[in-house]
Structure 1
Amino acid sequence: MLCWSASFYPQPIYNYQRGSTSGLAIDFPTINFLGFSCYAIYTSAFLYSPVIRRQYAARFPNSGEPTVRFNDLAFAVHAVVLSAIVYSQFWPSIWGLRVFRTQRISKTMLGLFWGSVMAPLVVVWMVVARSPDGGLDPASWAWIDVIYAFSYVKVLITVVKYVPQAWVNYKRQSTVGWSIVPILLDLSGGVLSLVQLILDSSLQSDWSGVTGNPVKFLLGNITIVSDTVFIVQHYLLYRDAPKDTKDGDQHRDEQRPLLSDEPGEAPRTTRALV
């Protein structure tokens, strides 16, 4: 929890110190906020919802209590707040940072964002329409399936959220603007998260605790693989890239800052011409 929570601070601090968001893909904080919001819903439901806990016990009778812990919820809520802060740094009117014309949310990520919002709603409809007792019978479509839908959305987002940043690093042939410190902390958190899950299941003498909490198991493994990619980019592939310039941008297509109040939009002075 400490490693993962601390990993959210270096990037916004780095942006603020540079006075620029250059080098950071806007897709990352956009989709990251949604992912951790889903994870917060998932963890809070397993911790505090009697209905969800009863349905979990019915589906996994030998696993005891869910292997979700309070530190999982605390981390999720903290991550939602910090992700929102990083996203807000792309609004010049809030932080006064330089935001560039190339930093726009891609259509792919917008589609993923709204698709991820709709997916749990579809499962809610399935529960309401097909469950004979309003989603209380775990043997059929139940409310626990809605919570699992949120968890799978989080897993999907975790799988793809690093791709835009890795692609930006590749196009720029540089990791300048993308802090490596969060990656190192994130990697440590991923390893420790897997260790915690294994220890919890071992102490309960039932490995169905892993299958009953697939989101935590998958997130830990996905995190390790993704962070390894960034470590290779930073320390091996692009280690000889030019260092950060004084004004925080070093690429020709980033020399025109974004002056709009909305991230990903053209500057106000050019909107009428577009």
Structure 2
Amino acid sequence: MLIRIVSILFPLFAIAALGYLVGRRLKPDLSHANRLNMDVFVPALVFAALASRETRIGDYLPLAAATLLVVIGSGLLAWAFARAAGQSTRTLVPPLMFNNSGNLGIPLAVLAFGDAALAPAVVTFAVSNLLHFSFGAWLLDHNIRLRNLWRVPSVAATIAGVALGLSGIELWPPLMVAVKMLGDIAIPLMLFALGVRLTDSRLGAIGLGVLTGILRPLAGMALVWAVLLLIDLPPQERALLMVFGALPPAVLNYIFAERYRQEPEKVASLVLVGNLLSLAMLPIPLALALD
């Protein structure tokens, strides 16, 4: 079991570590690559997974509902923790509420459970992503216009993929192959860019970072356990949701904190420490899921 878990996690962290080393040594400007990934490759990955004829969107509605409850529950626990710790809720809630379901969650699901896990992993990412760009952005700036949410490429791809999947219309196969090829670029680039992005983080709030880095996955797994008592899911989706609950804070939290000037250095520290601690925390849900 230990060898299997290591074999699952090693490729993910090896690519991220390479990105970190390259970032430290060469300091590459990945702003254009990250923009392409967020605006083209990730939307292509999401659209291809949701619009594929093998994907039955209706079958994933319980998983989407369960994911929604886990994310909302994480936000409520984060709000209570921030108030108890005397921290700003705008600083602490997003990193504890929104996890790394894109950069880390999707490739981890595929490596752990096979290609069949791509579609449900994208569903969990889509739910979290929609909430992050709506409620997460509103939390940092109450003046944000949510009616423009559909303009976010990954959100637009989610809407289009779900609509096409529900319509029963099959996209021209050669066009779908092209979309899938674009989507295939996203996963390794997300991991590599994650490593490069972490070079910008600073270990400023180590104690708080360690505390949240442990609390986030433990609270997430506890919430998943409670939600699974209410919503019955197939075995693979139960396992995937448990791994989802244990994922570290999303790097996007740092980008949002920087954009809205909400203690970005502290958020960067929470993201960095949380992702480092995931090396020790992720084997727990994997052991439970693969048992």
**Fold shared by both chains (TM-score > 0.5):** no
TM-score with structure 1 setting the length: 0.31
Q: Give the structure with the higher percent helix.
A: 2
